[in-house]
Structure 1
Amino acid sequence: MKQLGKGGNGIIWANGQDWKNVRRMSLRSLRDLGVGKSTLEEQIKEETNIILDFLSNCEDKPIKVHELMMKATTNIISIVVFSKRYDYGDPEFLQILKVLEDGFGDMVFFTPVHRFPMLRFIPFIASQMLAGRNAMMAVEQLIAKHIEKRRQVFDKEDISDLIDVYFDTCANKESSTISESNMRRIILDLFFAGSDTTVTTLDWAFLYMVLHPEVQKKCQEEIDSVVGDDRMVDWSDKSKLSYNEATLLEVQRLGNALPMSLPHTTVKDTKVKGYLIPEGTLVYANLYACHLDSRYWKEPLKFKPERFLDGSGNVSKPPVTFMPFSTGPRMCPGEPLARMELFLFFTNILQRFSVSLSGGEKPSNDGFCGMRMSTPEYTIHATRR
C-alpha cells in the first residue's frame, strides 16, 4: 500500500481533505464538462456507432463482448481526461488497455501482499510485481506527455477535460494538495475505475441476454415501441424504457461486476458487533453478499428484471442493499457516466441486433471472482434485426 502511494494517492487511496479536493475535481470533469461542442452523451453515441459498424462487419462471426466494449469504454474515459479519442489499433491505446486488463486480472487491489508484505520477496511474486509496476509507470509517462502538451496550450476560458480542470484549479489556487505526480495517479485511477467495471457489467448484460432470450425480446419490443428504428436511443428515453432499465439493474445486482468495494481504512478504533477494528485497518464492503441476501431478495439467484418494477410497470426504488456503485460519501464518483454508458450501449445494440450464442455449449452464469466478477468465457453472434 505504501508503494501505491508513492507520487500521490490518486483518488482511490486518498483520505481527508486530500480526497475531498480530488473528488471535487473529478466530479466537475465527469458531470459538468462538454467535449468541444459535443456533450458526453453525444460522444458515447458516436462510440456506439463505431461498435454498431463493427458488429455489422462481423455478422456470422463469433464476437467477444469484453474485448470489444473494453475499447469503447476506455475511449470514453480518454475523452473525459484527454479530450482524445483513440483508434482501436493505436499502439498507445493498446498499451493503456493492457495495463488495465493486467491490473484487474492480477487482482492488484486484493493481492495477499497487502496482508503479508514479506511475500513480495518471493522471486516469482517479485517479478510479477515489477513487471506490473513497470507497465503502470510506462502509462504514467504517456499521461505525463498529455499533461505537458496541454500545459503549452491551456486556455482557462476553454475548459474541456480533466487536465484543463487541474490547471484551472492550480491557477485559482483552490488546492495545494494536487501535485502533478498525483494528477497522473488520479488519471490512472479513473481509467481503472471507469473502464473495466462498466465493460464487465456490459459483458454480464449480453451473457444474460443470450441465456434469457425472452428478456432480450421484451427489451427489444419496448425499444421498438418507444423509439422505433429511425433514430438512436437517447438518454432522455430512459424514463420511458422501464423494462430495459430494470434489466440493467438486475444485471448489476446478479452480475456483481465489483463484488467488493474499493479499500477503505478506519479513521479511529471502531467496534462492530463486539469486534474491535483498530484505527488504520484496511476494510472492504461485501457488495456481493448485499446483492444476494435472501432476506431482501426473493429467489436471489434467479435473473428476474421484474423485481425492479412496480405494479404499474415503472422502475421501483431498489432496496437499501442494492449498491453496485458502493454507498456513502465515497461511492463511485463516475456513477452518472457509467449509468449513461450502460444504458446507451445496451439499448442501441439491442435496437439494431439480436444476440445469440456462437457456440453449441451453453455457458455457465457462475462468475470468476477477483478484483472484478468476470463472466465465463463466451462468444456471441450479432444478427441484424
Structure 2
Amino acid sequence: MFSDRPRVIFNSVSYCVQKCNISQKSFHEIPTPKGDWPLVGHAHLFGPNGPYNAERLSEAVLDLSKKLGAVFKLRLSGTDIIVTVDADDTRTLFRHEGRLPHRPPFPALLHYRQHKFGSIGIVPGNGEDWYKFRAAILPLLRKQIFQAYIDQQKKVAETFVDYIQTNLKENSEGIFTKSLNFVAISVTSPGERFSCLSTSSSKTETKDVMNASIDFMDGLYETLVGLPLWRLYRTQGYQKLETSHQVIHRIVGGRLQDFNARYKQQPEQISMLHPFLTSLFDNPTLEWKDVVMLGMEVFLGGIDATATTLAMTFHYLATNPEIQEQAYREATCDKSPLEMSFMRACIKETLRLSPTAGANSRFLANDANIGGYLIPAGVKSKTCPGEKTKYEVRYVFSIQSLNKITSQCHFLKMFILILYIYIYLIFQTLVSAFSSVSSLNEKYFTEPMKYCPQRWLRESSIAKGHAFASLPFGYGPRMCPGRRLAEQEMVLLLKQVLNKYQLESANSTTEPVGMVYRMNRIPDRPINIYFRERVAQLKESSIRAQQ
C-alpha cells in the first residue's frame, strides 16, 4: 500500500498557503439568499409557494449564481451547503476529498441494510466500509474485464433491433430503452439475461424484478427528500424502498447463487465469460452477503441513468440529421467500441447537455479555498480502521438510540428528531459542485447550448472546455465504476440501431427537452422517436419510442 506521507505534505503546504493568503475571505462572508428560516433554512425557497421548483434544481442554482455569484451558501435541514458552479472550484473540491471521500449518505437505505442484511454496499456507504466494497468493484474499470462482455452486449443490441422490427410490423408502441438496459446489465450481474425484450415473455420473475427496480428508485428518492419521518414510522416511501429491495435481493441473490454453483463446476469457462462476477466470488474480503449486495448495486446502477442517456442521444441524433449521418457512416465500419470515436463523442455531448447527475457533493476532509472563501472541513478523516467520524457518531446516535429513548412517546421522538437535525447536523458543511450548470456555461464551452459532438474529437479545432466543467460520471475514487461498461453498451446499441434505422423526431414541439430531478435527472417529457428503415428509405412504417 502506498504511503500517505505525500498526501499529508500536500495538505500541510495547502493549509499554509491558505492561511497566508490575505485575500481569502471567511466562511461567514459567503453570499447567501435572504430568508434563512429557523429549522428549515432555505428549504421554503423550493416549496410550493417558493420562487423555485425542487424538480428543476439546476435551473434554480443557475439563477441564484447569477444573483449571488459563482459561490453561495444554502442552509437546508441544518446543513450548510456551499454551492459552486465554477469548474476550478470543482477541481479544488476533488483535491480535498481525502483518501476516503465522504458524500451525503442515503440514510433510509443505510438504516435498512444495516439492520436487515448487515451489509451496506457502495451507494450509501462511507469510510472504511465503503472502501472495502469499492476495492472489490474496481475490476469493472479494467479493459480486459469490460471488453469480455462485448459479445454478450452485441447480442442484447441485436435483440433490441429485432424487437423494434417486430413492433414495426405490428404498428404498436412501447420500445423502452429502460427495458434494453435492464437486459444488458443483467449479463454482467446477476450473470443471466432477463427476457423483458421478448414480446412473448410472461415470466413473473422478470416482471417482478423490473417493477421492483422502478419502485426502488422512487422509494429511495421519497425517503431522501423532505423530513426523515421514516425514522418515526414506516412511511409510504420507506415501505416502497423496503419491499422493492426485498424483491430484488431475493431474485438477484438467487440467480447469483445458481451462477456460483455453475462456476464451481466449470471455473475456466465461466471466468472467461463473466470475469467480474467470478472476481467477486473469489474475493477473500467479501462474505456472501457482500457479494449479493454488490451484485444488486451493479444491476440497479446500470438501468436508470444509462436508459436516460440512450433516450436523450436518440433525441439529439433525431433532431440533428447531419450529425446522425456522420454517426451512421461510422456505424457501418468494422470497428471496436473503443475505436468508434464519433459515437463515443455523441454520448459525451449528450451527457454534457443533459447529465443524469446534477452535482458532485462532498464533506471536505480538510479546509479548502473554494472561490476565494475558506471552507472548513466538513468531516473528520479517519486514521484507523473502525474509528467512527463525528458524522457517523451522530448518525449512529440518531438511528440506534432515538427509538430506545422515545419508544413510548411519539411527540418526544419528533421533538428530539428536529432537535437532532438542527443541533447536530448544523456543524456539517457540504460542498456541492453543480457540473450540470458549469457544463452549459459559455465560459467553458463554445456555443454551449448546441449539440456538437465534434468538440470532443482529438482532431477537432473546437475548444474542448475545462476538464472539470462536465463530469457526468464523477471523478476520483467515487467515480462511477460501471462507466466503461455503460459506454461500451451504448456504443454497441447505437451501431446496431443506426445501421438499420434512420431516426426522426416525433415530438410535437421544437422546445428543448429539459431535465427534472427524481433519483437521477430524467427528461421532462416523453422522448418520441420514429425509427424508419434504411432499406432505400422505401418503407413508411414507423414506431414511436417512449422513455
Q: CA offsets, 1:271-321, max 9 Å, x none?
A: 7422335314565542312312322112222222232235x4599866312
Distance 2:470 2:257 in 1: 42
Equivalences, count: 360
Q: In structure 2, which of residues 466, 474, 485 is the aligned counterpart of residue 319 of structure 1?
A: 466
Q: In structure 2, which of residues 205, 222, 242 is the aligned counterpart of residue 92 of structure 1?
A: 205
Alignment-derived partner of residue 251 in structure 2: 142
Is residue 292–residue 300 contact of structure 1 (8 Å, CA) maintained in 2? yes
Alignment-derived partner of residue 45 in structure 1: 154
Distance 1:110 1:294 in 2: 36
Structural mapping, 1:6-45, within 5 Å: 6=114, 7-28=118-139, 31=142, 39-45=148-154
Is residue 318–residue 505 contact of structure 2 (8 Å, CA) maintained in 1? yes
Alignment-derived partner of residue 181 in structure 1: 289
Q: Determine whether 1:251 maps to 2:350.
A: yes
Q: Determine whether 1:129 maps to 2:220.
A: no
Alignment-derived partner of residue 498 in structure 2: 350
Alignment-derived partner of residue 15 in structure 2: none
Q: CA offsets, 1:78-131, max 9 Å, x none?
A: 211222112113322222222322333455388225xx32465488xx023212
Alignment-derived partner of residue 164 in structure 1: 278
Q: CA offsets, 1:48-96, max 9 Å, x none?
A: 110111112222746555x2x2222222322112221121133222222
Is residue 59–residue 381 contact of structure 1 (8 Å, CA) maintained in 2? no
Structural mapping, 1:65-104, within 5 Å: 67=176, 69-88=177-196, 89=201, 90-104=203-217
Of 270-279 and 88-97, the range deviating more from structure 2: 270-279
Alignment-derived partner of residue 335 in structure 1: 483
User: Letter of the aligned partner of 1:11 in structure 2?
Assistant: I
Q: In structure 2, which of residues 419, 431, 444 is the aligned counterpart of residue 296 of structure 1?
A: 444
Is residue 250–residue 304 contact of structure 1 (8 Å, CA) maintained in 2? yes
**Cα 1:192/1:314, change in 2 over 3 Å:** farther
Distance 1:253 1:45 in 2: 26
Distance 1:161 1:342 in 2: 20
Query: 1:39 Cα deviation (Å)?
Result: 3.1
Provide the alpha-carbon RMSD of the alignment: 3.1
For normalisation by structure 1, the TM-score amounts to: 0.81
Distance 2:443 2:173 in 1: 38
Is residue 41–residue 235 contact of structure 1 (8 Å, CA) maintained in 2? no
User: Letter of the aligned partner of 1:148 in structure 2?
Assistant: Q
Query: 1:346 Cα deviation (Å)?
Result: 1.4
Is residue 219–residue 238 contact of structure 2 (8 Å, CA) maintained in 1? no
Alignment-derived partner of residue 527 in structure 2: 378
Distance 1:314 1:245 in 2: 18
SS at match of 2:168: coil
Query: 1:47 Cα deviation (Å)?
Result: 0.5
Q: CA offsets, 1:344-385, max 9 Å, x none?
A: 111221121011234544464112222222122132221110
**Cα 1:199/1:314, change in 2 over 3 Å:** farther
Distance 2:128 2:122 in 1: 12
Task: Could you tell me which runs of 5 or more consecutive residues in structure 1 were left unpaired when the two chains were aligned.
Answer: 228-232
Alignment-derived partner of residue 336 in structure 2: 235
Distance 2:461 2:336 in 1: 17
Distance 1:33 1:109 in 2: 38
Alignment-derived partner of residue 274 in structure 1: 374
User: Letter of the aligned partner of 2:124 in structure 1?
Assistant: W
User: Letter of the aligned partner of 1:47 in structure 2?
Assistant: V
SS at match of 2:531: strand
SS at match of 2:476: coil
User: Letter of the aligned partner of 1:71 in structure 2?
Assistant: S
Alignment-derived partner of residue 71 in structure 2: none
Distance 2:448 2:507 in 1: 28
SS at match of 1:169: coil
Alignment-derived partner of residue 303 in structure 2: 195
Distance 1:162 1:222 in 2: 30
Task: Pick the structure with greater CA Rg.
Answer: 2
Distance 1:153 1:244 in 2: 37
User: Letter of the aligned partner of 2:207 in structure 1?
Assistant: L
Query: 1:40 Cα deviation (Å)?
Result: 0.6
Of 290-299 and 360-369, the range deviating more from structure 2: 360-369
Distance 2:157 2:520 in 1: 24
Query: 1:243 Cα deviation (Å)?
Result: 3.3
SS at match of 2:131: helix
Alignment-derived partner of residue 54 in structure 1: 163
SS at match of 1:355: strand
Alignment-derived partner of residue 260 in structure 1: 359
